Amino acid sequence: MFYTVIPAGGSGTRLWPLSRAGHPKFLHPLTGTDESLLQATVARLAPLAPAERTLVVTGVSHAAAVARQLAGLPEGNILVEPSPRDSCAAIALAAAVIARREPEAVMGSFAADHLIADGAAYVEVLKDAIVGAESGLLMTVGINPTHPETGYGYLQCGDTIDGGPLLRVEEFKEKPSFEVAESYVASGRYRWNAGMFVWRVDVFLAELARQQPQLAAGISRIAAAWDTAEQEDVLGEVWPTLPKISVDYAVMEGAAAAGQVATVSGDFGWNDVGDFHTLGEVLSTDEAGNMVLGGDTSGDKPKVLIRDSSNLVVVPHSGRLVAALGVRDLIVVDTDDAVLVCPRDRAQDVKQLVDELKQRG
Ligand code: GDD
Ligand code: MG
């Protein structure tokens, strides 16, 4: 049987001040509808796994909000981690919990905060990935790169497997330098890793044990106590000792080097909505290219008034009126306690602002 796993942590710093540690990106309706990114992710995967086989791994501080947003999930399917230890621990915990139910189950791990334009094509691609996973491969989804993005993983693609839709992955390189990313894109042989993984839980846990023995041993202690009276004690004792590392570095780079990784083409309009400029590109705009997130420009009491302006991204989150006159190519984000104004081509640098704010305390 197939299980959907959604690791939901991280704060999405380039979407500050909307996305905060206390209310991260995946809980926000950045989809152009009322749905949050997390809700859209679960809905999109529903054709592959019902609620009973959908698990979310999230932190204590987000668990209540996640449960509220995903009211259809059984309570026990929200796995709560005591503190963030990055994606490997979260995904490994889900794999081990599933393995207790069904040792050879296939699971897919999907980022909580991506937008997909063509949901039907997406499901078809994942069906190919599931076939690859059943044969014992660690499957990834590869996106044709459009620019040398340094925040992604890169898959060096080799031959097709038996003439089918799966390609061997010869190298997995997480977050290369700009120069290396440039050379990858120019070579035409690399794809972006979409941050989605499909594998048999037993295959993944064996690879974890080979490459990350300490993490694997800790997870297996926690899994052995899962759903018993000792669960909280063991979790509290072992979780803080687990290495803080993402699954890309911890498992995928080494698994690709060992010839265990393959990929399918993700031609379904994938977008990692990491910053406000990208959001403005992806969501629909008015004729002047202005995108207002969740605002109403036409009603009697508009929260936003835009005149003689173009290519704006406006997020009127506080409920106050935001007015713009005679400006272009700007991001304006108004929240209760902070306002961001910056040109669209500086959207990536918002992360630096957040780092500076953190340093100031
Ligand atoms: N539960 C939990 N706990 N989830 C976490 C944690 C954690 O401590 N840290 C990260 N996650 C979740 C995120 O919420 C997201 O759903 C997923 O794990 C990936 O983490 P990100 O922090 O968003 O990773 P990334 O964007 O830097 O890189 C990954 O995604 C890229 C595509 O967007 C990698 O897989 C890259 O290779 C990939 O290109
Ligand atoms: Mg991400």
Residue 91: CB within 6 Å of ligand 1?
A: no
218 CB near ligand 1 (under 6 Å)? no
pTM score > 0.90 for this model?
A: yes
**% of residues, the chain, pLDDT over 90:** 87
| 101 contacts 2 by C-beta, under 8 angstroms | no
Ligand 1 atom with the smallest distance to the CA of 12 is 23
Residue 286's CB is within 10 A of a number of other CB atoms, namely 13
Distance 347 CA to ligand 1 centre (A): 20
Q: Residue 213 half-sphere exposure, CB side, CA atoms within 13 Å?
A: 1
**Mean pLDDT score across all residues of the chain:** 94
**pLDDT band for position 298 (50/70/90)?**
low
What is the arithmetic mean of pLDDT over 43-60? 97
126, pLDDT greater than 80: yes
In angstroms, what is the span from residue 198 Cα to ligand 1's centroid? 15
pLDDT (tens digit per residue) in 326-345: 999 999 999 999 999 999 99
- Whether 19 contacts 13, CB under 8 Å: yes
Cβ–ligand 1 distance for 354 under 6 Å, the answer: no
pLDDT grade for 354, boundaries at 50, 70 and 90: very high
Task: Using the mean position of ligand 2's atoms as its centre, give its distance from the Cα of residue 27 in Å.
Answer: 14
10 lines ligand 1 (CB under 6 A): yes
Question: Which burial class, exposed, middle or buried, applies to 29 when counting CB atoms under 10 A from its CB (0-12, 13-18, 19+)?
Answer: middle
Joined tokens for residue 247: 């699954």
How many A from CA of 225 to the centre of ligand 1? Answer: 26
- For residue 26, the ligand 1 atom closest to its alpha carbon is 14
**Quick check: CB of 152 below 6 Å from ligand 1?**
yes
Q: Which ligand is nearest to the CA of 243?
A: 1
> pLDDT, tens digit, for every residue of 172-209?
999 999 999 999 999 999 999 999 999 999 999 999 99
**pLDDT tens figures, 143-164:** 999 999 999 999 999 999 999 9
pLDDT tens digits, one per residue of 131-141: 999 999 999 99
Provide the phi-psi class of 30: left if phi over 0, else alpha when psi is between -120 and 50, else beta. alpha
Q: Does the C-beta of 149 come closer than 6 Å to ligand 1?
A: no
pLDDT computed for residue 250 by the predictor: 98
Residue 300 reports pLDDT greater than 60? no
**Of 87, 171, 172, best ligand 1 pocket probe by most atoms within 8 Å of the beta carbon:** 87
Q: pLDDT class for 297, splitting at 50, 70, 90?
A: low
Indicate the top mutation candidate among 19, 198, 246, 275 to test ligand 1's pocket, ranked by most ligand atoms within 8 A of CB: 246
DSSP assignment string, 226-264: TTSTTHHHHHHHHGGGS----HIIIIIHHHHHTT-EEEE
Can you give the pLDDT at residue 267? Answer: 92
Question: What pLDDT, on the 0 to 100 scale, is given for residue 302?
Answer: 60
Q: Using a 6 Å cutoff on CB, does residue 295 contact ligand 1?
A: no
Does the beta carbon of 142 lie inside 6 Å of ligand 1?
Answer: no
Cα 319 to averaged position of ligand 1 atoms, centre (Å):
30
Residue 23 is predicted with a pLDDT of: 85
Question: Does 214 have pLDDT greater than 60?
Answer: yes
Residue 299 has what pLDDT?
A: 55
